[in-house]
Amino acid sequence: MLKKKSKKDKKQYSNAEDSIEISYELITSVPQLKNFIKKIPKCHTISSRLTATKILLDMKNNELYQKFIELKGVSILSNWLKEYKKSVQSGTDLTLDEELINTNIIYLCQQIHLSKNDLINSKIGKNINSLGKALPEESPLRKKCEEIIDKWKKMLENEDNNEENEEANEEQAEQLKINNNREEINNFNNNNNSFLNNKIKRNSHNANPLLINTNTILNNINPIVANNAINKINPINIKTYVKNSTNFFFSLLSKLKKNVIFLYNII
């Protein structure tokens, strides 16, 4: 003969008609986890939720916990906390099993790593904080809620500080890169200028004497010698040149005529 369920087991949340009971089974694979996550939204009784939280705590596998977060399992637990908070605010005291369910959820949140986005998307931090404030000050569950909220606040502060430090480091690295580029450009220009100056000096020392500036040569010549050389250079007389050329032409023609007469007499 089956035992009748106690009042605490009959207590349901969300007034769902499709509530199911979960039997304890250790989850060791992703397919098992996916099947489990499909079931837990239908856990509306205290006993089924208590079993579900025990299964999650005993899983103790970081990869499966990460998959649990990715599959929005944390959001389901967050909704449970929200329901318990409403129950407390309405003046209903939580049973020992209900407190244990909430305690298990808090322990689970301490066991897994929830990022800033996970906390925002699931709203579990908000619901734990609201539940803690709704509970009496002497409640042990309230202290647990406060402890995990303090832990998450410190974590978020550290993340914000790390982000600020990373941004500052990136800015410093960028500025250092700009300064290094400027220094490289300046060094390049200085090296080029030095190279060109040295090249010009070498060219001036090894210059071809024929390409040296005429003014420099004239300045080094004795003025008396230069004047004598200039005086010895006589301008060309055009008439004399034409006359000499004409005489040469007729002389050549006369010689050619004599040779022709000589050859004619021989033949």
pLDDT digits (tens, 9 = 90+) for 62-113: 999 999 999 999 999 999 999 999 999 999 999 999 999 999 999 999 999 9
What is the structure's pLDDT at 246? 73
Least confidently predicted of 72-86, 216-230, 234-248: 216-230
Task: State the CATH number of the domain containing residue 128.
Answer: 1.20.930.10
| Cα radius of gyration rounded to whole Å, the chain | 54
In the predicted model, what is the mean pLDDT of residues 203-225?
54
Number of domains, the chain: 2
Q: Are residues 23 and 149 in the same domain?
A: yes
Q: Classify residue 108: in a domain, yes or no.
A: yes
Q: Classify residue 222: in a domain, yes or no.
A: no
What is the structure's pLDDT at 187? 78
Q: What would the 3-class secondary structure string for the chain be?
A: CCCCCCHHHHCECCCCCCCCCCCCCCCCCHHHHHHHHHHHHHCCEHHHHHHHHHHHHHHCCHHHHHHHHHCCHHHHHHHHHHHHHHHHHCCCCCCHHHHHHHHHHHHHHHHCCCCHHHHHHHCHHHHHHHHHHHCCCCCHHHHHHHHHHHHHHHHHHHHHHHHHHHHHHHHHHHHHHHHHHHHHHHHHHHHHHHHHHHHHHHHHHCCCHHHCCHHHHHHHCCHHHHHHHHHHCCCCCHHHHHHHHHHHHHHHHHHHHHHHHHHHHHC
Q: Is the pLDDT of residue 59 over 90?
A: yes
Q: How confident is the model at residue 250 (pLDDT cuts 50, 70, 90)?
A: confident
Q: Is the pLDDT of residue 233 over 60?
A: no
Q: Is the pLDDT of residue 6 over 70?
A: no
* pTM for this model (two decimals): 0.60
User: Pick from 161, 189, 205: which residue ends a domain?
Assistant: 161
Q: Classify residue 213: in a domain, yes or no.
A: no
Identify whether the C-beta of residue 48 lies closer than 8 Å to the C-beta of residue 21. yes
What is the structure's pLDDT at 3? 39
Q: Classify residue 6: in a domain, yes or no.
A: no
User: Pick from 113, 131, 161: which residue ends a domain?
Assistant: 161
User: Pick from 137, 161, 185: which residue ends a domain?
Assistant: 161
- 68 versus 185: which is more confidently predicted? 68
Q: Classify residue 172: in a domain, yes or no.
A: no
Q: Classify residue 207: in a domain, yes or no.
A: no
Name the residue range of residue 240's domain. Answer: 234-266
- 79 versus 170: which is more confidently predicted? 79
Q: Classify residue 111: in a domain, yes or no.
A: yes
Mean pLDDT of the chain: 80
